[in-house]
Chain A
Amino acid sequence: MANSNGGDARDHHATPMLDELETGPWPSFITGLKRLRDSSEKQYAPMVNDLLGQLEHSYENRLGYWKGGTVSVFGYGGGIIPRFSEVADKFPASKEFHTLRVQPPAGYHYTTDILRQMCDIWERHGSGLIAFHGQSGDIMFQGCSTENTQKAFDELNEIGFDLGGAGPALRTSMSCVGHARCEMSCYDEVKAHREVINEFLDEMHRPALPYKFKFKFSGCPNDCVNAIHRADFAVIGTWRDDMKVNQEEVKKYVAEVGRKYAIDHVVAMCPTRALSLNDDDTLDVDNKSCVRCMHCLNVMTKALSPGDDKGVSILIGGKRALKIGDLMGIMIKPFMKLETEEDYEELKEFAGEVIDFFAENALEHERIGETIDRIGLPTFLEALGVDPDPNMVKHPRTSCFVRTDDFTEEAEKWYARKGRKADDDATVAAE
């Protein structure tokens, strides 16, 4: 049975199953929880003792015992994940065990000082358990009583942190390390992440969308924050001009690993057969066939780099199974420059148009990828004023069930766009 000060080992819940998770070389979350339980002078000790008791109860019965509810802080409609115990009669000290979802700094950078400040706040008001980070991208301050939720938030807010998203709302975003420490990075991820999300905070803090909406920002097609699968709006860095090749470094690499290895593992693994090893061990790149998959750049980090004409691709509609099955984002904007303030304004404007479209047209509990499937990509593009582009498809349609009586007018638009683009390119060249 739990006691009021949590300090006496005789009053700790027995946890024979959880104890087995303290062996083995990987850091044990159970050992961590026990350290909290055993800090008898701390306010969280009884709560963590009962938490361990409930968790052991789950392990014994193979069932979960938390239910949701409604808990929020002043001014916000979301961001707190309420948890009430269904077995509070047995484990009263952890009957309320809410999570605060808190947005991390873009790129997940911290100083030890700010981490300590978070720990101090959570020592006063929470369970002492923090996850860096949840699958939503948030810092998860796990385990707070209803009474302490506002206090914990106020103090976290005082040190510059804000709640993330939950429910039918704009969700907390993620960006990769990018410009801060990666040569593959093709745009300023921190700027894009902060400018876009901070523009639409109202959609995060006061949930009013049909369902969740997620942005993720990856600096290159390696997509380290898993944007194409997991984001409704994926921003992926890329470049338009030729990749950079340092042929001396290519030669060094070939000399180091051997010609056969270089051919088998670089040239032959190129998905569009855009690479060839020359007789002098330099690399021949067919940049028009290259799809910026990143493989050869990942392998030969010294020899190969992205080009100079960098920007982003935007894919829309990624999500997991519910309700129509898994969807990945579809390429909607093959290329946008992201350098000047105007470029960022354009990104925010486009993001806003997509969110507005989603808010007005999605059914309840429908993700935007499902909306696109329901209405068809042409209707979606038309609503957003985006022109169709062959980069949007794996291949053109194979079904003849389509009405094409305005095909000629549509073709004229294509030629007109191509003409404009040729003029623009000529202007740029003349400058």
Chain B
Amino acid sequence: MSEAATQPRLPDEVGVPDPFQYMHPVMKKNYGNWDWHERPRPGVLRHVSKDGESIYTVRAGTQRQMDLFTIRKLCDIGDQFADGHVRFTTRSNIEFLVADPAKVDPLIEKLQAEGFPVGGTGNSISMISHTQGWLHCDIPGTDASGVVKSLMDQMYDDFIKEEMPNRVRITTSCCQINCGGQGDIAINVQYTKPPRINHDLVANVCERPAVVARCPVAAIRPAMVNGKPSLEVDEKKCICCGACYPPCPPMQINGDDSTKLAIWVGGKHSNARSKPTFHKLVMANLPNNPPRWPEVSEVVGKILKAYKDNAKDWERMGEWIERIGWPRFFELADLPFTKHHLDTWTGARHNMNMSAHVHF
């Protein structure tokens, strides 16, 4: 065999690809020269440049985890009904870019006929930003795509319409690392039991000092168990966060019944009006109940209804609650307030009401 054949191919470390080779020509031409935009209907944006040129964007929902057939179908639609240029949003919606307004309606019709919901713009509920779950992650407490499919089926009408007070950004995460991120509503795994340790495996699989250092509450310490070096957990201190599990898989944090789902509200990335905020716990201990997680759907539905019925235009979930107060939120969403809603982490005191301001 020649040397060339045995040598591996040298990679070309190109880094971030140049997007201009893929960008719609009208966007390339008007790069940095846009003037204003409007939303002619849900799922459609029209941006107008300072030179008066327009580009239409038709946004459609996808399942994010797409098979080749779906991607090729979207490409066919993009070639036949749009201009062959697409982009994806941060929330995995696909956007078709169209210069000719006459193409917009046929494109929408085609997308809808092929089962792709057109929407996700403005004051809608956009696609849930989510994680991998049982499909691909090595530490998941639940699935991601399945929960998302179930919820998007339920919220379908609010994706294709713009009838919420402001945009609603929902996230899901299948462990407490929370890769799904902050959201107006976040549906996250919450473990409820300390890790179960397979002491036969710890010494060979885990770098023990690193695992000890990983624990946020210093509940893990080295120990000899059955004559083998292992780790033990002070279960009174353990907050069941699961941080030890990724670096030490023999510390199994998931259990078929102990892995629960918690719901958080009021996270916001944008700086519009109020500063960015973290989401806050409102419900916990919901069962991890595939394939459609009905208990989660019910709580999310109650929160969305309370928000839709009561918030003012432009108020995001957290801003609405800020105005009406937490007592009224728990009442309107029909959720219990417990001692677990009282923060106990670093800085917890700053989350208490240190005033005589009371909502009655």
Contact = CB atoms under 8 A, between A and B. Distances in A.
Asked if chains A and B come from one complex, the reply is: yes
A292 to B, nearest CB: 8
A308 B279 CA distance: 35
Contacts of B283: none
B10 A75 contact: yes
B27 A181 contact: yes
A162 B15 contact: yes
A193 B18 CA distance: 10
A294 B149 CA distance: 32
A133 B117 CA distance: 18
Given A105-B17, A162-B13, A221-B272, A142 B36 contact: no
Contacts of B346: 324-325
Contacts of A301: 36-38
A294 B142 CA distance: 37
Given A160-B17, A179-B34, 14 more contacts: A20-B291, A26-B156, A27-B61, A29-B64, A32-B63, A35-B67, A62-B257, A64-B141, A129-B67, A142-B136, A223-B271, A226-B182, A320-B179, A324-B216
Q: Among the interface residues B34, B37, B181, which one has the most CB atoms of the partner chain A within 10 A?
A: B34
B337 interface: no
B5 interface: no
B199 to A, nearest CB: 18
Contact of B23 (A81, A180, A223): A180
Contacts of A399: none
Given A62-B259, A321-B177, A222 B271 contact: yes
B85 A61 contact: no
A131 interface: yes
Interface in B10-28: 10-24, 27-28
Given A17-B291, A105-B19, A265-B314, A320 B256 contact: no
A184 to B, nearest CB: 9
B79 A132 contact: no
A322 interface: yes
B291 A27 contact: no
B15 A197 contact: yes
Given A68-B138, A162-B17, A364-B210, A322 B177 contact: yes
Contacts of B213: 364-365
Given A62-B256, A68-B138, A328 B88 contact: no
Contacts of B312: 264-265
B121 interface: no
17 contacts: A20-B292, A24-B149, A32-B65, A32-B70, A35-B69, A36-B67, A55-B143, A76-B11, A107-B19, A111-B21, A112-B78, A130-B68, A131-B92, A142-B132, A183-B34, A322-B243, A323-B216
The 6 closest A-B pairs by CB, nearest first: A24-B153, A32-B67, A58-B134, A105-B19, A221-B271, A198-B15
A113 interface: yes
Contacts of A99: 136
A198 B16 CA distance: 6
Nearest to B78: A112
Q: Among the interface residues A104, A162, A180, which one has the most CB atoms of the partner chain B within 10 A?
A: A180
Contacts of A361: none
A119 B70 CA distance: 10
Interface string A63-79: 11111100001111000
Contact of B64 (A131, A190, A305, A321): A131
B35 A183 contact: yes
A62 B75 contact: no
Contacts of B14: 157, 160-162
B62 A132 contact: yes
B32 A365 contact: no
A359 interface: no
Contact of A135 (B15, B180, B256, B273): B180
Given A29-B64, A63-B256, A321 B241 contact: yes
Interface in B145-185: 145-146, 149-150, 152-153, 156, 176-182
Interface string B293-336: 00000000000000000001110000000000000000000000
A21 B146 contact: yes
Contacts of A285: none
B222 to A, nearest CB: 17
Interface string A106-135: 111111111110110011000011111111
Band of interface residues on B: 35 or more
Interface of A: 17-18, 20-21, 23-30, 32-33, 35-36, 51, 55, 58-59, 61-68, 73-76, 81, 83, 97, 99, 103-116, 118-119, 122-123, 128-135, 142-143, 150, 153-154, 157, 160-162, 173-174, 176-177, 179-183, 185, 188, 190, 193-194, 197-198, 201, 204-205, 221-226, 228-230, 236, 264-265, 269-271, 291-295, 298-299, 301-302, 305, 320-326, 328, 364-365
A106 B19 contact: yes
B86 interface: yes
B66 interface: yes
Contacts of A188: 32
A142 B65 contact: yes
Contacts of B133: 64
Contacts of A161: 14, 17
Contacts of B192: none
A28 B65 contact: no
Nearest to A294: B272
Contacts of B12: 157, 162
B18 to A, nearest CB: 7
Contact of B149 (A28, A97, A194, A222): A28
A181 B57 contact: yes
B32 to A, nearest CB: 4
Interface string B124-147: 000001111111111111110110
B360 interface: no
Contact of A132 (B17, B94, B138): B94
A109 B10 CA distance: 27
Contact of A223 (B28, B34, B47, B270): B270
Contacts of A51: 135
Contacts of B62: 27, 132
